[in-house]
Structure 1
């Protein structure tokens, strides 16, 4: 595998993993909309862990969700998927570091290192899928409530935390797929054995020195 390709794939996966850690604690997963409101006294914004409100003077207060079991099903699933994405991304970073040819970890067995790098690519893809499912599911519920005319609660719009999550999932999937394709197209190294060439030299020399039984003198 080309070392430049390795570094590029690792950089994409690592950046996607970092952005998961940025998106998860971000408070602006959804922000209350001003559409249809004549007077807005406060802005409400939420994420997977807490709900915050900020008044017109800039003072904000936050409260954590009191009970896990009292939350909606998509909130619980989004939490689990995001935490799983962080764990998968961490394992993918370690596996890719071990599988890179420029690293000393794993010895000089490049076939084994290529397989470990392929495992890292799979982990990056799984991380990206978990992140994309989580943020897309959360955004779907926001849009569903926003366009529902009979919804009695506060309507929200998509916040910056979801955009960070989408960027994270895209980078992780791209890095993992490129790493897998690079490992698939790479074949095992052909090892040349010196004793084979020596045998060929001996055999060729012997065939040249062996006299032929059907020489011209045999018919005289």
Structure 2
């Protein structure tokens, strides 16, 4: 049971980590459409790296954000959190591979492997929290600008990249929790004898005989 939980949690975390990379590379973090006339229609979209405009004819023009310091604070923070999440996920994958019960690494004990798995689970959860914070903050800013009647800029809507980020965060946090839970179940002692179990009756009976008491 513990090995199956570990494998399932590991696969969920790897899938969430890959989905985090896809979300970071996705162009559609915020999307809008603007109809200038009956003939011309332009759609604008942005992510953490660039802003693009695509005409109905299929011609697309993109402009990269040249200066990091010129970006707004929430964009800088979201970009940093997503990169940190990817680095934490990569480190967690390496630790998980070393700590899984189905892998053999020299003379490493089960207790040491369990600690590695638990540490990897915690790092995966931290990675998921970073992704969740980044996409939620970015989405909250989009909603705030969209509902602000005094905002004079272009109003955007939530793009597919944000939904990919939310899905990635859910998978990583769930998988990390399963890894941590697997270690706790594995570390629970199983060979403690219960005084009320049938196996304990002979021992109690012997004790009662030596003490000249009647065993019921």
Using the size of structure 2 for normalisation, the TM-score is 0.83
Which residue of structure 2 aligns with residue 126 of structure 1? 126
Per-residue CA deviations over 1:98-157 (Å, capped at 9, x if unaligned) read: 000111125340000000000000011001000000000000000000001110000000
Contact 1:33 1:157 in 2 (8 A): no
Q: Distance in 1 between matches of 2:163 and 2:17?
A: 15
Contact 2:36 2:42 in 1 (8 A): no
SS of the residue aligned with 2:187? coil
User: How far 1:181 sits from its partner (Å)?
Assistant: 1.2
Match status 1:59 vs 2:77? no
Using the size of structure 1 for normalisation, the TM-score is 0.81
Counting matched residue pairs gives 190
Which residue of structure 1 aligns with residue 102 of structure 2? 102
Match status 1:47 vs 2:53? no
Which residue of structure 2 aligns with residue 71 of structure 1? 71
Q: 1:190 to 1:178 in 2, by over 3 A?
A: closer
Structure number with bigger Rg: 1
Displaced runs of 4 or more, over 4 A: 36-40, 188-191
Which residue of structure 2 aligns with residue 213 of structure 1? none
User: How far 1:41 sits from its partner (Å)?
Assistant: 2.4
Contact 1:106 1:113 in 2 (8 A): no
RMSD: 1.9
Q: 1:106 to 1:181 in 2, by over 3 A?
A: farther
Structure 1 gap segments, 5+ residues each: 192-220
